[in-house]
Amino acid sequence: MANAHEILNRIKSIRDTMKITKAMYMVSSMKVQKAKKKLADTLPFFNGLQTQIREVLQHFPEMHHLYFDNRIEDERELVKRRIYIVITGDKGMAGPYNLNVLKEARAHFAKSEDYRIYCVGETGRHVFMAEKLPVAEDFRMSSNNPSIHRARVMCEMLTDKYKNEEVDEIYVVYTRMRNSVSSVVHTEQLLPLHTSRFLADEARQARPGVTVDASEMEIFPSPEDVLETLVKNIITGFLYGAMVESQASEESARMMSMKTATDNADAMLAELSRQYNQFRQAAITQEITEVVGGAKALQKKKAKKKQARMR
């Protein structure tokens, strides 16, 4: 059983740790708010791009485009060569955040015959490389402080591989925020885009009795070229949004972990303080007992000397 000195050392150590967990909680809280603002700022741009793509597809519904799933070549492929972009954190102390992403990614890997992994975040890279999975070693991206430039670089690299037919499908595994305290791992197909989804959205918004004629719209230099630019922009926007939302989810998870750690530290301090007070009480009681016992022994000694002198 620990003595009073050891308990005091533990109390000091826990208090020092609490200072760190409280500071990390505050930092994560500010990062969550910053990430939410970034996401809200990019949402109108992202929605505007989707509207433009829907309008082009609505006016040219028979057009077969490289970046959409309406090509005959895509239907003939028996084995899909896939790229999985897995967004994890660069560090831990974020509760089950990284574990949930890795679990979701592994479930998709098990269904794929030919795939490559592109990791955003060092945690996923280290884990998958340790498991001897096909991680792209020439792709190194941090999940910290996502930017439009980083998303654009990723978009150019991915679309080049897709255009050169090095890959057939591209997926993104990332974390969505449900609310301030919970999140869910989501997998989104980045390429090819689903034509039916855009046309279905447009059909729901169409006015009754209104027909669409391709002659109503003139696009220069061509609908294919304009759609390619729009698709690249929407992929860039989606990648940026996925990285921002993942960072917000990570910091939210870290914030909750630090709060839990601080609460547990408070409980440990209360228990250690109780133990220390018991030790102090026992020590004081023992000292009083020793003093009283010493006083009684001294009195007996004096009484014996007195009796001896009287004889």
Percent of the chain at pLDDT > 70 equals: 84
How does DSSP assign 252-302, residue by residue?
HHHHHHHHHHHHHHHHHHHHHHHHHHHHHHHHHHHHHHHHHHHHHHHHHHH
Instruction: Please tell us whether the domain made up of 26-254 is placed in CATH 3.40.1380.10.
Output: yes
What is the model's pLDDT at position 71?
A: 58
Could you tell me the pTM of the whole model? 0.77
pLDDT tens for each residue of 208-249? 444 444 445 666 677 677 777 888 888 888 898 889 888 888
What is the model's pLDDT at position 220?
A: 66
What is the model's pLDDT at position 295?
A: 75
Is pLDDT at 87 greater than 60 in this prediction? yes
What is the model's pLDDT at position 74?
A: 57
Span of 15-29, 63-77, 133-147, 246-260 with lowest mean pLDDT: 63-77
Q: Is the dihedral of CA 76, 80, 81, 85 positive or negative?
A: positive
Average pLDDT over residues 191-216: 57
Question: What phi and psi, each to the nearest 5 degrees, are found at residue 116?
Answer: -130, 150
What is the model's pLDDT at position 200?
A: 61
> Which residue bears the tokens 């729009």?
230
Rounded to whole angstroms, the Cα distance separating 179 from 36 reads 11
What is the model's pLDDT at position 211?
A: 44
Assign 211 to helix, strand or coil.
Answer: coil
What is the model's pLDDT at position 118?
A: 93
Break the chain into its structural domains and give their ranges: 4-16+262-306, 26-254
The answer to whether the CB of 97 falls within 8 A of the CB of 116 is no
Amino acid at 99: L
Is pLDDT at 69 greater than 80 in this prediction? no
Question: What phi and psi, each to the nearest 5 degrees, are found at residue 111?
Answer: -90, -5
Alpha helices in the chain (DSSP H): 4-59, 72-76, 97-109, 122-130, 148-163, 195-205, 223-310
Percent of the chain at pLDDT > 90 equals: 14
What is the model's pLDDT at position 107?
A: 92
91 contacts: CB under 8 Å, gap ≥ 6: 122, 123
Question: pLDDT: is 52 or 64 the higher one?
Answer: 52
Average pLDDT over residues 38-60: 75
Is pLDDT at 68 greater than 70 in this prediction? yes
pLDDT tens for each residue of 93-150? 888 889 999 999 999 999 888 899 999 989 989 999 999 999 988 888 888 888 888 9
Assign 85 to helix, strand or coil.
Answer: strand
Average pLDDT over residues 281-307: 76
Is pLDDT at 289 greater than 90 in this prediction? no
What is the model's pLDDT at position 49?
A: 75
Rounded to whole angstroms, the Cα distance separating 309 from 297 reads 19
Nearest CA-CA partner of 168 in 210, 114, 238, 131:
114
Rounded to whole angstroms, the Cα distance separating 248 from 43 reads 15
Sheet holding 183-191, edge to edge: 114-120, 81-87, 169-177, 183-191
Across the chain, mean pLDDT equals 80
Is pLDDT at 34 greater than 70 in this prediction? yes
Task: Give the pairing type, strands 183-191 and 169-177.
Answer: antiparallel
What is the model's pLDDT at position 84?
A: 94
**Burial readout 157-176 (b: 16 or more C-beta within 10 A, e: otherwise):** ebbebbeeeebbbbbbbbbb
Is pLDDT at 192 greater than 90 in this prediction? no
Is pLDDT at 171 greater than 90 in this prediction? yes
Rounded to whole angstroms, the Cα distance separating 169 from 83 reads 6
51 contacts: CB under 8 Å, gap ≥ 6: none
Is pLDDT at 202 greater than 80 in this prediction? no
Using the 8-state DSSP alphabet, how is residue 209 labeled? T
What is the model's pLDDT at position 204?
A: 44
Rounded to whole angstroms, the Cα distance separating 244 from 247 reads 5
